[in-house]
Amino acid sequence: MKFGKKLLLALTVVLLSTLLLGVGLAQEEEVNVWVVVHGGIADPFWKRVEKGVMDAATNHSDLEVTYTGPSEYNFTEFIADIEAAVASKPDVLVCTLTEPDAMDEVLRTAIADGLPVIAINAPDLREPPENRIPVLTYVGEDSYHIGVVAAEETLKRFTPKRALFVNHHPGARNIELRGQGFIDTLGKNDIPAEALDITADAVQGAEITLAYLVAHPDTEVIFSTNTLRTEAIVTRLLDEGIDVGNEVKIASMDMSEKVLEYIQEGQVMFTLDQQQYLQGYLGVEFAYLHAKYGFTPPPAPVSTGPGVITAENVPQLMELSKQGYR
C-alpha cells in the first residue's frame, strides 16, 4: 500500500478508537435512563409524555435520557425496542406495560439481572398480585380511582336515574377497572349502572350506544374513556335529535380539541385528564433519584391525577395544550 493510504488508514483507526473511547467514558459519568413506550410516539397523547420526559431530563446535567417507541402502535416493534433498551444496559428502564403477559419474560429476566424497571401509563394488573412483574413502582392512572372520580363529579352535578359506561377496548384490564370504579360508586348511591362493549370500531360503537339509549330511555349519563369515542357518540346522538348535555349528559376522559369544545358548549360535563405529562416527568425523576442516590420511589400506584377539566378551566387548558403540556 502506498504511504498516503497507510497514513489515512492509521488516522481512521485512531479517530475511531478515540470516538469509541469517548463514548465509553461519557457513559461512565452519567445516569442513563431509557424510556420505551408502546405509543405510537407520533400520537398527540404520547407527545405530552415525551415532553414530560424531556423536561425532567433537563433537570440534571448528568442525566442522559433516551426516549423511543414505535411511531405507530406496533407491538412487535415495541418489544424489539424494549430488547434494544435492555441490551444497552441503562441504569434504569422506564416503560409501559401494555401487555404484561407478553412482556413478563423479558422484563423479569432483565430485573433479575439487576436492571430496575419503572412502569408508567399502563400497569400490570394481573391477579394474583404476586404474579405481577416486579417493577420498582408504577406512575400513571389509577384506573379504578378514575372511575370513582367520574362518578363523584357526576353526582356533584346531578343525580342520574341510570348510568352507562362504554368500554371501547374490551379485555383491557385498566379500562374495565375504570368502569368498575364508576359503577361501584354509583351503586353505593343506589343508581343502576352497567358497562357496555362498544367494540374497537368507533362508528359501530356509536350505533350500539344509541341502541342502548333507545332500550333504556332513563339513561341520563354516559361515561366514555376515549376522546375519539366520545366525539363519535356525541355526534351520533346529536344527529338523532337527542339533546346532548341536557337529556343525556356525557362524562369523558383525556383531551382533544373537539372534546374541549363540547365542554365549553355544554354537551360534555367534564373530562378527566390522566396528566400523562406527569407520567413521563415523574417516571424519569424517580428513575434518576433511584439510580443516583438509591432512593426508593413511592409505592405503586403513583396516581397522576385525574385532573378534572370543566368549562371554567378550558381556556387555560387550550393554551397549555398548544404548548404541549396537557
Partner 1 sequence: MLIIQNQEIAHHQNEGIRSKWTFEELRKIPEFGALIAFLALFIFFAICAPRFFSLRNITSLLTIIAELGIMTVGISFLMIGGEIDLSVSSAYATAGFVFVTLANIFTFPLGSLLAFIVALLVSLLIGFVNSRVVLRGGIPSFIATLGMMMFLRGILLGITGGRSISYAGDSLVPSLLTGIMAYRFRPSHFWFIAIVVVFSFILNHTVFGNRVFATGGKKLAAYTMGVNVNQVKTACFMISSVLAGLSGVIAISRFSLANVSFGQGMELEAIAASVIGGTLMTGGYGSIIGAALGAGIMGMVRTGLVMAGVPSYWYNAFVGIILVIAAVVNLKLRSTILGE
Residues that bind partner 1 (CB under 8 A): 16, 19-20, 23-24, 27, 41-42, 66, 68-71, 73-77, 79-81, 83-89, 99, 101-102, 104-105, 109, 169-171, 197, 199-200
Cβ–Cβ under 8 Å, residues 84 and 55? no
Shortest distance (Å) from residue 15 CB to partner 1:
11
CA distances from 300 to 38, 223, 296 (A): 20, 26, 11
Residue that the C-alpha cell 337529556 belongs to: 247
Q: Which is nearer to partner 1, 75 or 295 (CB)?
A: 75
Report the distance separating Cα 36 and Cα 64, nearest Å: 14
Nearer to partner 1 among residue 143 and residue 267 (C-beta):
143
Cα-Cα-Cα-Cα torsion 315, 318, 324, 326, nearest 10 degrees, comes to: 70
Q: Is 31 left (phi over 0), alpha (psi -120 to 50) or beta?
A: beta
Single-letter code of the amino acid located at 285: E
User: Which residue lies nearer to partner 1 by CB, 171 or 241?
Assistant: 171
Measured from the CB atom, is 87 or 293 closer to partner 1? 87
Cα distance between residue 207 and residue 94, in whole Å = 39
- In the complex, the smallest distance separating the C-beta of residue 63 from partner 1, rounded to whole angstroms, is 15
Nearest approach, Cβ of residue 197 and partner 1 (Å): 7
> Residue 11 or residue 80: which is nearer to partner 1 going by CB?
80
Q: Which is nearer to partner 1, 101 or 243 (CB)?
A: 101
Provide Rg for the chain, Cα atoms. 24
Q: Which three cell numbers stand for residue 318?
A: 387550550
| Strand spans (E) along 28-148 | 31-36, 63-68, 92-95, 117-120, 137-140
Task: Give min distance, CB of 177 to partner 1, in A.
Answer: 16
The nearer residue to partner 1, 24 or 128, going by C-beta atoms, is 24
Residue 154 C-beta: closest distance to partner 1, Å = 27
Q: Which is nearer to partner 1, 62 or 83 (CB)?
A: 83
Beta carbons of 287 and 92 less than 8 angstroms apart: yes
Q: What percent helix, strand, coil does the chain show, rounded to 5?
A: 50, 20, 30
Who's near 7: CB < 8 A, 6+ residues apart? none
Q: Taking the complex as a whole, how short is the minimal distance between the CB of residue 59 and partner 1, in angstroms?
A: 20
Nearest alpha carbon to residue 133 among 108, 113, 153: 108
Q: How far is the CB of 5 from partner 1 (least distance, A)?
A: 18
**Distance of closest approach, residue 73 Cβ to partner 1, in angstroms:** 8
